[in-house]
Amino acid sequence: MNYLKILASTALVVGFAAPATFAASSTDAKDVQNAKMSLADAVKAAQEAESGSKAIYGKFHVTNGVGKYEIVVVNNGKTDTLVVDPTTGDAVKAKRDSADKTDKKGEATIESAQTTLAAAIDTAEKQGGRALEAELDTKKNTTAYEIEIANGDSTSTVWVDVNSGDIIKKS
């Protein structure tokens, strides 16, 4: 099964009441703090490239010494994965799939949300550090954005309510 589809699907089923579920490498955490563009900017670039789409997941990672953002967006029953260059902001579609049941639920949730993923990332970064990974997450009928923040040599997780835009938990 495609790794990115698994990531997009799990973005909606991982519980935000549990301890941090992200496992950033030290290289990813260091490089995201030095990236010219933030994860929020990459989300915006991906949404602009796929007009009308809404982001449900984003991640920065380094492969073969090159950092990049991968953003998953949903729109009209389709799930698109875009790769965004952290230096130029260029967004290129890497994959398109039909949205599965979980993605469609995420699309419905994100459509009614009062706070965007990009805005939630901006809110979380005000706690200090740079967002490394973010996802729409539902647990026990509560939906929030779960955002991993890299700050120096450590990471923390911040949950932002999809409607109020307020931080509801930090760990």
Q: pLDDT tens string for the chain (171 positions)?
A: 333 333 333 333 333 333 334 555 667 777 788 788 999 999 999 999 988 888 999 999 888 888 899 999 988 878 889 999 999 999 988 876 665 655 556 666 777 788 999 999 999 999 899 999 999 888 777 789 999 999 988 899 999 999 999 999 898
- Name the pTM for this structure: 0.78
What pLDDT digit, counting tens, does each position of 75-99 carry?
887 888 999 999 999 998 887 666 5
Retrieve residue 129's tokens.
């550090």
Classify 131 as helix, strand or coil.
strand
Contacts of 52 (CB under 8 A, 6+ apart): 75, 76
What integer best gives the mean pLDDT of the chain? 79
Q: Which of 113, 157, 125 is nearest to 17 (CA)?
A: 157
b/e burial code for range 77-96 (CB count within 10 A of at least 16 → b): eebbbbbbbbeebebeeeee
Domain range summary for the chain, segments of one domain joined by +: 3-170
CATH of domain 3-170: 3.10.450.40
pLDDT recorded at residue 147: 96
pLDDT recorded at residue 160: 95
C-alpha angle with apex 4: 78 to 12, nearest 5 degrees?
A: 70
User: Cα–Cα distance between 56 and 54 in angstroms, integer?
Assistant: 7
